[in-house]
Every structure is written in C-alpha cells, then in structure tokens.
Structure 1
Amino acid sequence: MSAPRRSVLALALLSMLVEEPMHAYRMQQLIKERRKDDVVNVSQRNSVYQTIQRLVRDGLAEIASTERTDNRPERITYRITDAGRTTLGEWLRTMLSTPALEYPEFPAALSFLPNLAPPAAIVELTTRVARLEERLTMLDAEIAQVTRFLPRLFAIESEYQRQVVAAELTYVRNLVEDLRAERITWPFVDGAPVWPG
C-alpha cells in the first residue's frame, strides 16, 4: 500500500481530530472560525468530505459514531487513529523542515508578462500594489486582534503571511518603478510581443 498523500487540508483535518472526534462540517467551521482558512482552502465543503473519506480509507481517521435525526442526512463523527497521529507528526515535521516546490500564480504570470503591452502591465501591477497594501492592513489588524486575547503562537502563520506580503509589495513597487522608467521594457506591436531574431 502506498503512503497516504499529504495535503494542507488533510493536515488541518487531522489536527482538528486531535482535539476531539467531530464531523466534517464542524471541522470546516472551526477552520473558518479560527481564521485558518487563510492558509487552508475549505471554501468547497465537498473537498473537506472527500479528504476525510481519503483519511478514513488510508487508516488515518475512522468513524467514531453515526447518528440520524428526523429526516436529516446521517451525521458521521470521525476520530483520529494512532496511524493518523503518527502521520500528522511526520507531515508536520516535513512541511516545517523542507521547502516545497509550489506553483503559485503570480510568478507564472510574471514569466509570461511580455504578452501584455508594458502600459497594461503597469496598470495591472499598480492594482496589485493597492491590493497588497490592503492585505497588509488586514493582516496587521488580525495579528493585533489575535494577540490581544491569545499567545503569539496563534498568530505566527499570520506573521509569516505578513512578511511574505510585505516582501512581495516591495518587489512589485520596484517592478512598477522599473517599468515606468523603462529600465524593463519590450516591444509590443499589434497585440503581441515582438521577439528579437
């Protein structure tokens, strides 16, 4: 049998089950209530259910109880298994110690930037600057709110995100400045870049 497939959502669900047995909807709600949905995509309830089913299939979680009330669908409560606890620790150690090769959209968009005319690129990147500034303001407020009531430990993912957003903001501001000063430019004719040669 192959090793269970690691994912951020699977890690989050196993972490929820360490606290106590619970049903999938409750796990999704807790992730949102704790604002972990900034780092874990739980926007699609179906993906939560599919992931918990995979965890059960892989022996990392199991059904603790099943109940049905009136004409409502069955509510299944899950709990973590010993194998799940072991795997959670292994995944967490790997995710903390080993940088992963990820494929975010923004670097990909930058690699194809010449498909926009330089003035259009400036417009879009300037919009990104404004959105990054808004994100920084939101993260600052979130960190301040969390640390008012809880130890700093509960805000460290937001602190990390803040550092990443601040670094990106600095980079994009400099890129816009370089584009405006034409230190970076490319020929663009009839809706397409013109490549040398």
Structure 2
Amino acid sequence: MEATVDSTRHRLLAAAEELLLTVGYDSVSVRAICSAAGLNPAAVHYHFGSKEALVAAMLEDRLAPVWANLLDDVERHRREGWVPATADLVDAILEPLTELAADPVGRLRLHLLARVLFSGQRMHWTSPWFSLEPWVALLRAARPDLTGEQAGTRWVLAFQLLLQVFGTPAAPAPTPPRLSPAAVRSFVVAGLDAP
C-alpha cells in the first residue's frame, strides 16, 4: 500500500513540475495535474490537500537536496566547535541560489518557491532547513549577542530579499536576477551582521 501511495505522489509531483515548466503556475489547474498524471481528479486533494501544498511538496523534494549536504556540513562543523562567521552562512545559501538561477529549471523552482512563500499561506515543510530554527541557531553561534527573536527577524528579512532577487515572485514568469551575487551577498551579510 505504501509503495502505491509513494508512486501516486511521485506521479503527481512529476506531472505538476512538467506542467509548471511548460505553462506556468497560474495556468495549471489541479484537474490538469491529475489528468497529466493519469489519476482521478481528486488525487491532488487526497494526497496533498491543495495545489499550493502539492507545489510546496514538489519544491521541497527538488530543493532540499540542493542545500542539505552543504548545510548539514555547516551544522556538523558547528557541533564540533567551529564558530561560523555570518559570511559563511550567507555563502552556504547564496552558492546554490546562484547555481539554481543560472539554470532555467532551477530558476522556475526558485520562482515557484518565492510565489508560494509570498502567498502568505502556511506551508508544512518537513526538511529542517525550510524552517527558521536551524538558521537562528547558526546565526546566534556567529553572533551570540543577538536574541533568538532578533536573529529570526534578520533571517526573515534576508530570506525575503533573497527570494525577491532570485525568485522574482512579482514577474509573470521566472527571470534571471538583475543584481550580481556579490552585491546581494554584501547586502545580506551586512544586514545579518549589523550591530
């Protein structure tokens, strides 16, 4: 039974991504996703609850591995006593963002991520790197003078900026970033590291 559920979820995720790549977020309906996956019209709602939740699951499935190893290494080194600089944390985010933005499929995924996050809907992520807690802990290791609330607020602002630049959520389709990664890096490091 579990293999069937996984297979169905995989088919829905693959169909959704293919449609999103070819016709765009606004033009893709739940019915179209189910049809492309060869499933009944209620499959998305049964397995994910909504189109937005399906897109969030697809994004996490595709994007979490991009950061997981790099960020797990940062966290492992921190547990071993290494204290990261704020710039180290920004680099751990920015390098994959830059690589994703250079690829049309990666750019689409960033665009969708930005649209989902800026929609205001509460998403239920399963990857720890899609929540603020590990980021707050890492920033507080680099900046122990910050409270948890201050570190959280700084990360929220940093992630909003990064998603605006790399995800272009207001554009009807994904577009390459107009700012250089170096300029973005300097600004985010300054914001996270401000007194």
TM-score under structure 1 normalisation? 0.31
Larger radius of gyration: 1
Higher fraction of strand: 1
| Larger helix percent | 2
